[in-house]
Structure 1
Amino acid sequence: MHYNINVDFSKKDMRIDKYLWCVRYYKTRSIATGACKKGQIKVNGAPVKPSREVFPTDKIELRKDQIIYQLTVNDIPPNRVGAKLVDLYRTDTTPKSAFEAKELLKYSKDYYRKKGSGRPTKKDRRDIDSFYDDEE
């Protein structure tokens, strides 16, 4: 008996958590999976589960470090790729204003509480105590 089975080895889909790990947006797959479960990742405008398959031309939006990254899937990598090869598999369309907003946020934190102000440290308290002891 002869079986004619056509097997397609050119797989052109991948789980979203694995894809984001492969193109180096997350250090581990479990971190990428957690981000999906928290709703920080959207594909074509809809929040996704970690098992959602991603295909070329999908638009991915992910929130990481208070920046909303926008990227388009160009191709599916065979496995995790080096940093120099990432641009073959995705196009980053994140607006520059997203990165500028993070810089502004960093400066606004400095505005509210300068380093060294606020509650004294243990060393500061000892210095104050030794100052008062010297006066007596």
Structure 2
Amino acid sequence: MDSTRIDRWLWAVRLSKTRADAATACRGGHVRVNDKPAKASTPVRSGDTVRTRLYDIPRVVEVGRVIEKRVGAPEAVTCYVDHTPPPPPKGEIPPVPRRERGAGRPTKRDRRRIEAFERASLLHGVEHDLAVEPDAVEADLED
């Protein structure tokens, strides 16, 4: 067999849980073959590069062997070469601030403090104490 459909191949090598999920990803523009957007019927051949984002996981794989029938996981990994870059270390991803359960919507004051914190943290990498009132900081600066 020389080539097969990309949705069938993604399902056969277990990058997609179902063939329908692979076809949906193709329709959504989340699959590229040789850096070109792929429809579900796009043929893939040995040596092609497939970039996909399935289940919020970006993958870059090179087709090693074309198969049409779903196979077991040990055999499936032999059908492609994974070139996916490693994810960033957990320490580099900043934790997302969470509100306490049941605290309701942020007030206008809370929203302004959150935005100031995010702006300062992203732009300057400065640690801020959210307990300090912005008005109190301005009053201290004026003294």
Task: Give the Cα separation in 2 of the matches to 1:66 and 1:103.
Answer: 20
Unmatched tracts of structure 1, length 5 or more: 1-10, 121-136
Could you tell me which of 63, 70, 73 is aligned with 2:63?
A: 73
The answer for the alignment partner of 1:112 in structure 2 is 97
Deviation at 1:86, TM superposition (A): 1.5
2:117 match: none
Identity within the alignment, %: 31
Is structure 2 residue 8 aligned with structure 1 residue 18? yes
Select the residue among 38, 52, 66 that pairs with 2:42: 52
Query: Cα offset for 1:102?
Result: 8.2
Q: How far is the alpha carbon of 1:117 from its aligned partner?
A: 6.0
5+ residue gaps, structure 2, are 106-143
Give the TM-score, by structure 2 length. Answer: 0.65
Deviation readout 1:43-67 (Å, 9 max, x if unpaired): 0001111000100000000012433
Name the structure 2 match of 1:43.
33
Q: Which residue of 2 aligns with 1:6?
A: none
* 1:66–1:57 Cα change, 3 Å: same
CA contact (8 A) 1:39 1:48 kept: yes
Query: CA offset at residue 114 of structure 1?
Result: 4.8
| Distance (Å, rounded) in 2 between the aligned partners of 1:30 and 1:103 | 36
Hey, which bits of structure 1, 4+ residues long, moved more than 4 A? 101-105
Superposed displacement of residue 116, structure 1: 3.2
Q: Does 1:100 align with 2:88?
A: yes
Counterparts of 2:91 and 2:6, CA distance in 1: 29
Assess if the C-alpha contact under 8 Å between 1:73 and 1:90 holds in 2.
yes
